[in-house]
Amino acid sequence: MIKVPAEFQWLQGPECPLDDIYCVSFFHGLDPADVLRRFDPAGAAGEEMAFERLAERVLAFADSTGGGDGGGHVGVVRAGDWSVAIELWGWQAVLHDVVPALSAGCEFVAVGRHEYAEDGFAYAIDGDLLTWFTPTTPQDRYGTEPDHLLAPMRATGLRPDPPAEDASEQEADWDDLSANGLVRAFWLAAEITGVAFTRDLLDRPLLVGTIAR
C-alpha cells in the first residue's frame, strides 16, 4: 500500500479537534469574504475569530437546533491562491445540489467526514461537478467526468479501478480504505490544490460567517 504522508496523520488521531462530522472545501482564486457569500449570500459580513471560538459558536447553534441543520457557521482562511473553508458539524460543501453554486466561476475541491452517514469527495470547476465519490469506494464515482482524476487518485492510494479479482487483495484494499480513505482524500485534495490541510491552518485567524438554512 502507498503510505500516507505524515502531515495528514493528525486527521486520524484522537486529538483531532474537528470531531466526528466536518467538511473542508478549497476555492481557487476567491478571498475568504467571497467564500462566505457563497455559503450565505444574505449573511452579515464575516467576523474574524480563532478556531476555538468557531467551535463554541457551532456547538451553541447545533444545541439550539437539534443538530439537524449542521453547524450553521463556516470559518475560512487564505492559503496561497486558495481559500479553505471549514464546516464543523457540517456537510454542505459535499452535497451534490450545493456544489454547483459553491464552485461557480472557480476550481473547487471538498472533503467531508460524516461518522453516521458517509464521507465524500467532490471536485468541480465553474459549477460543473466533475467527480464525486466516497473515499472507501473510489471505484464508484459520479459526475460529468468521473475519470478526470485517475492519475492523482492512483498516486494517493485511492484505487479508482474495479475491485481486484483476488479475494485477499480485495480485503486488503477495503481494510486500507476503511482506515485511511479519508486522509487519502485530503492527500488527493493537496495534490490538486497544492494546499495540504495541516494542523497549523487551524491556528490562523478565521473569517467566520453563517451558512444559509
**pLDDT for position 164:** 67
Supply φ then ψ for residue 73, to 5 degrees: -140, 155
Per-residue pLDDT tens over the stretch 25-65: 999 999 999 999 999 999 888 999 999 999 999 999 999 99
Q: Say if residue 181 is exposed, middle or buried (CB neighbours under 10 Å; 0-12, 13-18, 19+).
A: buried
Task: Assign 1 to helix, strand or coil.
Answer: coil
pTM for the full predicted model: 0.96
pLDDT band at 172 (very low <50, low <70, confident <90, very high): confident
In degrees and rounded to multiples of 5, residue 25 shows phi and psi of -130, 150
In eight-state DSSP terms, residue 100 is H
- Residue 166 scores a pLDDT above 90: no
Q: How do the domains of the chain map onto residue ranges?
A: 7-210
Q: What is the mean pLDDT of residues 200-204?
A: 96
In whole numbers, what is the pLDDT of the chain averaged over residues?
94
Give me the pLDDT at residue 171, please: 75
> SS3 for 21-47, per residue?
EEEEEEEECCCHHHHHHHHCCCCCCCE
In this model, does residue 1 exceed pLDDT 90? Answer: no
